[in-house]
Structure 1
């Protein structure tokens, strides 16, 4: 299936989020190596979970670029999770509203692009069925 510009841009943005997660994994590994962890078992578990998330988000990115619906669905869920984290960063006892905003704006843009890509794919499927 041929993908449109919106879908390719959304795929690149989701891929950038996946690469950011890889960066977080590197940061976590550096913290473990420096001894900045309270419990090594928890730190390793967090690294593994973050790496699994990074692989999943990168897989969503590749699937979006290839026009697969499961990639768009996974990308939309990823954006909603990022928005939840942004809300948590912007509110609460240790709130950092600018960090919340820095997380929320790209997630909102990517979310909108993914919804447009899904609608375009739906129209294309309807046209092909006729």
Structure 2
């Protein structure tokens, strides 16, 4: 079964965020190689966690594309966290506009897309259940 355009768009947002995190990890790794790190263990930990986040976002994008509800729910949690971090940065002075908009805009777009995909999949599951015999529905045995 081919994924819908909405599902593909939601997966693309997650994949682009994964790519952005991977680029950040590479920039940090090159900075570490140039001697820009104040603390080697902290820099290595940050690079490692950023790479793990990129892999996680990539896995969520793949799961969304495959129609897995775990990918949609995990992706939605990540988008909400991105929006929360962006909103918490509004009080920082000087105002980090690029940082706030870089998190808030893709986070909001991704959250809306994932929400719409989840609604569509839920409606399709309810329709499929209604068309069936209805005896052994989800969670009924």
Q: Same fold (TM over 0.5)?
A: yes
Alignment-derived partner of residue 15 in structure 1: 15
RMSD over equivalenced CA pairs, Å:
1.4
State the Cα distance separating 1:94 from its structure 2 match: 3.4
Alignment-derived partner of residue 99 in structure 1: 99
More displaced 10-residue stretch of structure 1: 62-71 or 87-96: 87-96
More displaced 10-residue stretch of structure 1: 91-100 or 108-117: 91-100
CA distance in 1, matches of 2:19, 2:46: 17
More displaced 10-residue stretch of structure 1: 34-43 or 80-89: 80-89
Q: Runs ≥4 in structure 1, deviation > 4 angstroms?
A: none
Aligned counterparts, 1:22-101, within 5 A: 22-101=22-101
Residue by residue, what CA displacement relative to the aligned partner does 1:25-81 show, whole Å, maximum 9, x if unpaired? 101101110110111011101111111111000000001011100000111011111
Query: Is contact 1:14-1:57 (8 Å) kept?
Result: yes
Q: Which has the larger radius of gyration?
A: 2
**Which has a greater percent of helix?**
1
TM normalised by structure 2 equals 0.86
State the Cα distance separating 1:98 from its structure 2 match: 4.3
CA distance in 1, matches of 2:8, 2:20: 18
| Structure 1: stretches of 5+ with no match in the other structure | none
CA distance in 2, matches of 1:28, 1:102: 18
